[in-house]
Chain A
C-alpha cells in the first residue's frame, strides 16, 4: 500500500477520442458560464475531459462503516486502536510498533526505499492515509479487509515478529489494554488468542479509518468545474491544469488511477523489476491471491462480522490468472507528493522520476499477456514538469 506508479497508463487508443483544445489558462474567454451546466462552461478542457475530471471527486467521499468490522466507526474502538498503533509491546521483542514504520510525521510512511523490520523487506512501506478506501490491502492484495491487514505485520517474523499467543496474553494481562478492549468490544479479552488478535486488528482498523487526507487545490478546481464557477477555477495553477489535461488526455493515466481516490483499487504490471533479491522473485498479485484464499481471516471466514458476507464479493469471485505475476496494486495518488519513494519496491525517488519512467517506458519489460495500452508517453521536459505540478496538487 504505497504510492508508486504515478502516471498510470500511457497509450493512444482512448486518447485519440479525447480531442484537445487550448487549456484553461490560455483561454481569455474563460469567465462567462451557466452554473452547473457543463455543456456551456467554456474551459479549455473538452467536455469529455471535464467529465473525466469530475469522476475524480467529490472529496472527501461519503464514508461508510466496514460491515465486516462491528467496531468500525466506534469511538471506543478508535481510541483502543490508536493505543495499539503506538504500542511497542505488540512486537515480539517489545521494541517496535505499527508507528515505527508508519510514522505520523512522515504521512504514515517511513520514507525508506524498502521497509525495515527484523530484516530489510522486499517492498516499500505503504502510507496509511485514505487506506479505508482500499478494496485490497498490501501491494499484493493478500488481505481483503483493513483488520486482517492490520494483523499481518504483527505476526510476520520479518516485521514485528509476534504471535497470536503473544498478543492475546498481552491484552489479557495488561489492565489498561484489557479495559480498553472491554470498552471497545463490550466484553473482556477472551481466552481465544486468535479472536483477541483479530479484534486487536479490528480496533487498529477503526483507528486507521480516521486517517483521511484533507481537500486539495485539485478538489477546489474540480468542484468549481462542476458548479461552473470560473472565478474559483482560475485559482488552480496553470501548470497543474496542463498536467491534468495530460492525465485525462494523452497520458491515459486516469484509466488506472480512476475515481476520487485516484486508483481503481486493482493491480497492474508496469514493468518494474520484480526480483526481490538475486534469484528470488516477488510474485506480486499472484502470490497475494494465493495467500488471500488460504487465509483463515479473510472476509469469507467466521471472523468477519458481515453475516450476509455482502462485503466478500471480491474474495468470492477473485480469479487467479498467470498474468497476475508481477502485478502490484495501483496506488492512490492523493498526497503522493509526501510519500516518496515510489513503486512497490521504492524503485523511484521522486515524482519526476515516476513521470519520466512512464515517459520512457520500456515495453520489452512488460509481460506478453500484460496491459496493452501501456506505451511510452515521450513527454517533453515541460510536460513532465506540468504533470508533476498536477500530482503535487492532489
Chain B
C-alpha cells in the first residue's frame, strides 16, 4: 500500500463512518452496508436469568431512508435456540429505540440480532456477547 492509499484508508473510510455515527455514549456499534446501530444494555453487565433492556441508536448511511422498523432478538448459535422471551421495541426521538423484556437464561455465547427494515429490505446486524 503506497502512501496515498494509506492516507485514503485513514481519512476517507472513517469519514464515511463519521457521517453515520449513532449518538449513544458508551455504546457498542455494529454496522451493515446501509445502517450503523449503536446499542447499550441496561444494566451494562447482563446477568444470567435477569431481564434487561437495550437502548439503541440507528442511523442510515448515504441515501438510505430512515428505518421503518427495528427488531431486537438474540440466540445461542451453538445451542441452536433463542431466548424464551420476545423483546418489545419502542421508538423514541432522533433514531433512538428502547427494547425491553430480553433475558439470557444460560451462560455462554449469545448473539444479538438487530433487524433494521427500510425501503423494502431488512438488514440483519449481529454481535456476539459472552456471558460468564
Contact = CB atoms under 8 A, between A and B. Distances in A.
B110 to A, nearest CB: 12
A141 to B, nearest CB: 10
Given A313-B101, A317-B88, A372 B48 contact: no
B105 interface: yes
Given A267-B84, A319-B85, A372 B79 contact: yes
A127 interface: no
B105 A264 contact: yes
Contact of A313 (B51, B80, B81, B108): B51
B49 interface: yes
B12 interface: no
Interface residues of A, number: 26
A259 interface: yes
A13 B78 contact: yes
Contacts of A321: 82, 84
Interface in A109-167: 135
A317 B85 contact: yes
Contacts of B81: 323, 369-372
A369 B80 contact: yes
B79 A319 contact: no
Interface in A356-388: 369-373
Contacts of A13: 78
Nearest to A327: B84
Contact of A265 (B49, B80, B102, B132): B49
B105 A317 contact: no
Contact of A319 (B48, B83, B107): B83
Interface string B76-104: 00111111111110000000000011110
A313 B50 CA distance: 10
Interface in A298-357: 313-314, 316-319, 321, 323
A321 B108 CA distance: 22
B98 to A, nearest CB: 14
Interface stretch (A19-27, A74-82, A226-234, A250-258): A250-258
A319 B84 contact: yes
A323 B82 CA distance: 10
B14 to A, nearest CB: 35
Interface of B: 48-49, 51, 78-88, 100-103, 105-108, 132
